C-alpha cells in the first residue's frame, strides 16, 4: 500500500480527520498478508511526527529501515505534489514499513449492501421554508451516527438537498439526501439519495434517511409515510 502525502489537517480541532490513525492501521493490517509493504510519504513536519509515533505504537507493522523514515528515496516514483514540495524547500519523509504476522483483533467485515433507500412522504410542508429554517442537527441510528450539516434548495428542480455525514464502521460516508416534489401528487415528496459521492447503500445510509424522516416529523407532526423500502 502506498499513501502519498495524505491531508495533514493542520488545525488541532481537525486532527481526528487524519488518515493515519491506530484504527486505520488496524484496518489495513486486516487486509494485508504478512510481508506486505506499507509506504507513506509526507512533507508536513507535525504530521510526520504523528505518523512515526502511530506506526511505532501499532503492533501490526515494523520498519524496513534502520529508523522510522528516510528523507530521500531513489526507488520511488516522484509525484507532482512531491516535486512541488521539494521545490519549495520542504523536507519529505518516507516511511517504509512491513506487515508482520500478528493477527488483528478486529475482523472489519465488509458492510452488507442493501437496496438504495427511498421514502415517499405526504405533508403540506414547503421546501423553500424548510431550507430557510434549517439548522444543523446530529442523528443516531442502531449502528450508525451522523449529522445533518446544511440544506440547499434548488428552485429549478424544486429539490431540497441536505448535506449529511454518516459515521459507520469500517468507514464514514458523506452523502446528499434529496427531497423533491412527487410529480402529479399534491403534497407528496420523494426522499432519496443523490449520486454525488457515489454513496454505498449500507445500513447506515438507510438509518440516515430514517433519521431524516424523524427530523421532519418533529417539525411537521402531520407528516405521513406513504411508502418506503428502508431496512432499519
CA atoms within 13 A of residue 89's CA, in its CB half-sphere: 0
Structural domain includes residue 105: no
Q: Are 62 and 129 part of one and the same domain? A: no
Encode pLDDT of 198-212 as tens digits.
999 999 999 999 999
Mean pLDDT of 47-62: 98
- Is pLDDT of 111 > 90? no
**Closest of 156, 160, 20 to residue 97, by C-alpha:** 20
Say how far apart CA 191 and CA 204 lie, in whole Å.
16
CA atoms within 13 A of residue 129's CA, in its CB half-sphere: 6
**Closest of 99, 90, 155, 93 to residue 127, by C-alpha:** 155
Q: Are 129 and 93 part of one and the same domain? A: no
187: left (phi over 0), alpha (psi -120 to 50) or beta: left
Structural domain includes residue 64: yes
Q: Are 77 and 126 part of one and the same domain? A: no
Residue 171 pLDDT: 77
Q: Which of 99, 130, 153 is the last residue in one of the domains? A: 99
CATH number at 17 reads: 3.40.50.150
Structural domains of the chain, count: 2
Encode pLDDT of 61-103 as tens digits.
999 999 999 999 999 999 999 999 999 999 999 999 999 999 9
Encode pLDDT of 157-190 as tens digits.
889 999 999 999 877 899 999 999 999 888 999 9
pTM of the complete model: 0.73
Q: Are 127 and 223 part of one and the same domain? A: yes
Q: Are 95 and 123 part of one and the same domain? A: no
Note down the domain range covering 84: 2-99
Amino acid at each position: 500500500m502506498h499513501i502519498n502525502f495524505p491531508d495533514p489537517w493542520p488545525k488541532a480541532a481537525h486532527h481526528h480527520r487524519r488518515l493515519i490513525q491506530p484504527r486505520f492501521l488496524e484496518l489495513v493490517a486486516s487486509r494485508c498478508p504478512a510481508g506486505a509493504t506499507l509506504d507513506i510519504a509526507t512533507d508536513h513536519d507535525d504530521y510526520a511526527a504523528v505518523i512515526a509515533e502511530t506506526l511505532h505504537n501499532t503492533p501490526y507493522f515494523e520498519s524496513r529501515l534502520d529508523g522510522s523514515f528516510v528523507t530521500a528515496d531513489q526507488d520511488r516514483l516522484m509525484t507532482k505534489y512531491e516535486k512541488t514540495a521539494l521545490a519549495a524547500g520542504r523536507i519529505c519523509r518516507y516511511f517504509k514499513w512491513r506487515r508482520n504476522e500478528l493477527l488483528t483483533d478486529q475482523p472489519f467485515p465488509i458492510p452488507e449492501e442493501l437496496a438504495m433507500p427511498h421514502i415517499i412522504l405526504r405533508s403540506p410542508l414547503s421546501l423553500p421554508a424548510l431550507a430557510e429554517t434549517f439548522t444543523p442537527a446530529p442523528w443516531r441510528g442502531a449502528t450508525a451516527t451522523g449529522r445533518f450539516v446544511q440544506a440547499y434548495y434548488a428552485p429549478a428542480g424544486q429539490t431540497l438537498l441536505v448535506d449529511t455525514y454518516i459515521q459507520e464502521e469500517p468507514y464514514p460516508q458523506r452523502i446528499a439526501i434529496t427531497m423533491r416534489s412527487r410529480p402529479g401528487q399534491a403534497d407528496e415528496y420523494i426522499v432519496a439519495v443523490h449520486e454525488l459521492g457515489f454513496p454505498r447503500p449500507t445500513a447506515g445510509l438507510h438509518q440516515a434517511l430514517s433519521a431524516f424522516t424523524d427530523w421532519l416529523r418533529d417539525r411537521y407532526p402531520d407528516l405521513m409515510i406513504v411508502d418506503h423500502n428502508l431496512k432499519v
